[in-house]
Amino acid sequence: MSEKSGLSELSEAGNKKLSILYEIALTVGKSLDLKTIIDDVLEKVITFMAVDAGVIYVIDEETMEMIPVSFRNLSKEVVNDLCTNKVKVGECMCGNIAQCDKEVIILEKASEDPRFTRGVLKKEGMEFYAGLPLKARNRVVGVLCVITHERYAPDPELLDILRAATQPIGLAIENARMFEITKKKSDANMRYWNFEGIIANSPKMLAVLDLVRKITDVPASILIYGESGTGKELIARALHFNSVRKDRPFIAVNCASIHENLLESELFGYVRGAFTGANADRDGLMEAANSGTIFLDEVNAMSSNLQAKLLRVLQDRTFFKVGSAQPHTVDIRIIAATNQNLEEAIKSKQFREDLYYRLNVIKIDLPPLRERADDIPLLSRYFMNKCGKKMEKDIRRISESAMAALINYSWPGNIRELENSIERAVIVSETDEILLEDLPPGIAAFAGELTVEWTLEKAERDHIAKVLNLVEGNKKKAAKLLGLDATTLWRKLKKE
């Protein structure tokens, strides 16, 4: 072979390598949908490698499971096993590749390799196997595997291309993941913007939401009162994400869950040397919430010392870090919440009266679930669908007797208790319907006659009452809005 023809072949091989890598780079840049990217990339890898089949796993960072996002030309038995019995990082061949961050190339009799612990893979008759880690930002985010069932002698140049291709694939996985995280955060914000997740049809809750809409941008302090489990933080988030501060931080603090000695430094931060272990300056949650909203749940749990410091923040938006004489100023909206009667706490000297009046400029009273029975069917079905998706169970309805028990029960734990009870029912249910026996025994005991009227006549009366309230009792306007003549409306009102 002449020197010229040799150079020509090298040039051709180099061009081929660049062409394949360029094609893969274009593919991963076409979309931010992970499944779409991975499916297209795997198809290209199988084509240029001329192998029989392949699979790309993506690591679930929460469970550390190896999720087979895309696979091609594998037997149904293998596909079912991969999708049903997911292995974790460190398990089987792909899990070991992810854990050790090292490629594995087996040139012959791959199925006999003891590192394959799945029985179906041993039966698959793999001859050649190549497994390569997919990395982004110096960590393994997935694994690419390709196989053949016949003897296969890969061109070293192709293996080099495959190794090079893992870089854009890994980055594509990471970018898609980051996009999904950002989208979820955005969706969460929009959820509160649209008041989704706040299930309400009862007059008391509709009145609460009407008040929330009116005060979203009011700069005054807000106090939310409600029993545990009534959704105080949900209302606080709705207030924040519907306000002009919606793009700024929302920081939620449960004052009762942090020890009194730690709560001050958590809220206001500290300076180096303020106490043993304070080796550097640290900002507190007040600074973290600057220009946004801080939600102080169970504010009644604060000590009198902390109450005085919170009062200063409410008065002039300044505070002192622990161990510092330098004042710090913040621009924050403070929303507080309590499940205690603060007026009684003032009488017993457990809560400052001046702080109470500063916090209680606007008060939102959340009704307990027992006072909003109209919402129980809606909430129950909402939690049924939510838990069903999480458990991957197709639960479609709630039986009549189970719904009667849910409506008749008094719900001392409120919405949180209802959600936990529905989740339990979804877990133990053996059909597509939640039955009475699926509910916790203490709730199932309340099955029987419904104690709430659910007739169409009752719904009509409630609707007429709402319209009359809307038009401040003007029956002529109400009749027009309801599409009735005045005589018909009068007759319906007389029936009440």
CATH of domain 14-179: 3.30.450.40
> What does the domain layout of the chain look like in residue ranges?
14-179, 194-367, 370-444, 456-495
Average pLDDT, the chain: 85
pTM: 0.56
CB-facing half-sphere around the CA of 42: CA atoms within 13 A: 30
- Measured between alpha carbons, how far is 21 from 17 in angstroms, rounded to an integer? 6
- For the beta carbon of residue 382, count every other beta carbon within 10 angstroms: 17
Give the residue, 8 or 195, on which the prediction is more confident.
195
**How is domain 194-367 classified at the architecture level of CATH?**
3-Layer(aba) Sandwich (3.40)
Strand partners, 287: none
Nearest Cα neighbor of 243 from 293, 188, 199, 286 is: 293
Per-residue DSSP letter, 112: G
Q: Residue 7: pLDDT band by 50, 70, 90 thresholds?
A: very low
Tokens of 378: 């809606």
The fold for domain 456-495 equals: Arc Repressor Mutant, subunit A (1.10.10)
Contacts of 149 (CB under 8 A, 6+ apart): 52, 124, 125, 126, 127
Model confidence over 295-340: pLDDT tens digits? 999 999 999 999 999 999 999 999 999 999 899 999 999 999 999 9
Model confidence over 65-118: pLDDT tens digits? 889 988 899 888 888 888 888 888 988 899 999 999 999 999 989 988 888 888
Model confidence over 414-451: pLDDT tens digits? 999 999 999 999 999 999 999 999 999 999 998 875 55
Longest CA span, the chain: 108
CB-facing half-sphere around the CA of 456: CA atoms within 13 A: 0
pLDDT at 106: 93
Model confidence over 201-236: pLDDT tens digits? 788 888 898 899 889 888 889 999 999 999 999 999
Q: Residue 38: pLDDT band by 50, 70, 90 thresholds?
A: confident
**How is domain 370-444 classified at the architecture level of CATH?**
Orthogonal Bundle (1.10)
- Measured between alpha carbons, how far is 94 from 166 in angstroms, rounded to an integer? 15
Q: Residue 190: pLDDT band by 50, 70, 90 thresholds?
A: very low
Inter-residue contact 451 to 408 (CB < 8 Å): yes
